[in-house]
Structure 1
């Protein structure tokens, strides 16, 4: 792992605070607000859409989820419930979890919201890759795509947040819900922005690998723009990087900044002379098709970054390298 577990929650992007004209407003707004100053619904998503556990009074689980909980100043209580440490007295009890899956790039929960003024009402909370959740929202901010693209290009890890009110349900009705029932018709709740500092020894270790004539490649589940930023920081890439992207029905190599496009069928050696290459999960799937296998093998020596890669795809990458005579 190249990045540290000491994650820094920068805040929430894409939300209006104070007087608001709604999620589709075109008015200028603060790009990132502190997580604990974000709308209450946003904090509900961050607090409940997680797989953390309380063990002997200590919170255990994913460092990213722990960092988010700390950033909004909420606590985990017994019985799988969460509540703000101060202010509002509402609490959420997690009734059903649909755990994060690499192939789906998202997770969701169904929660019972308890407040002093009313009985429990049920709430769906969802988080995941912005490009995956995009079609699940009922409406989006005008700058949704440009915002998360800009942030990931700067090296941040960005997750989209959404929720949906279900009203009051019986426990039986909650447990009967399927994943497809809850992960739809969502209200946009913002983009959580997390920076992942490099480990102290990452640069040194990558440099040592280069100096010992190793071919260094990054394979990650992160967004390709985030991955390309980290690869550049570590000098895994030294040239301008192109990402294989689907442009309408056509596959093209596109620069990180989006300014340059190169035809996919450009000779691999010609590409490699000028650029370092990045393959994201969808591009990798396309190149692993039988009719593209030969092209994939010819491209492999020039690929420096694999991003948004599922575990099965990682296996395919390693097998393909070994077939070319590379060893790990």
Structure 2
């Protein structure tokens, strides 16, 4: 076999699992930019490996991407210790197909990614591989270079931690979309009464400006306070953009309905929602740090599994 033919086969094998690799990396890291970087690093390792010894390319590539992602997470977490204000994951655009799959949508939701931030890198990787991608404990042990017993313990700790902080409700996607659309209209019209109806009494708004743009450095809590916050959006200048120049559009972000805010020349923020059992908005995540808007600005809709 000639070298070009071998290279083509290597590329095809890698491309076959590229969506899986990005999907794992993004959930482990919480940022699209870092996920893309480790996917590229995985390609370099794959290209330089002796693939005649690789019996299972999927398992081999999963091991590479998992370890690269854990290594990158350890490094980025040290930087996050000095982050200004709340740190939120980097939003990504997702298609309606992702939103139609409740389990896939939930696994990439802002709310879950925020909870995953509180796990250790090992626990986070094990949780993602076990709970999202249904890898066996033995397969995960091979991927993360740990004993199967250690993986079982990490999986148990991670699952209990997530369940305690992220109650799971039956997701009514049509209801969520309807509430988001009504919230969107009420915000544009400054309709505080409707906003109050749509918000849970103990609703919390988290804003991430990263010290790059002005945002609340602590969570904004309470139905009335959050309602007033959004009622004022259409009346105030934001990041130097007059209200008449600001555009907002409903779209799919991280597996659910969300809003992208745009100025004349740039994306300025995204807004995503979490809902309580009654279908009211319980949490809002507002990302305005320009360093985290690259994926949305590029308009890339990520395929996630």
The higher-RCO structure (CA 8 Å, 6+ apart) is 2
TM value normalised by structure 2: 0.27
Larger radius of gyration: 1
Q: Greater helix percent: which structure?
A: 2
Q: Greater strand percent: which structure?
A: 1
TM value normalised by structure 1: 0.26
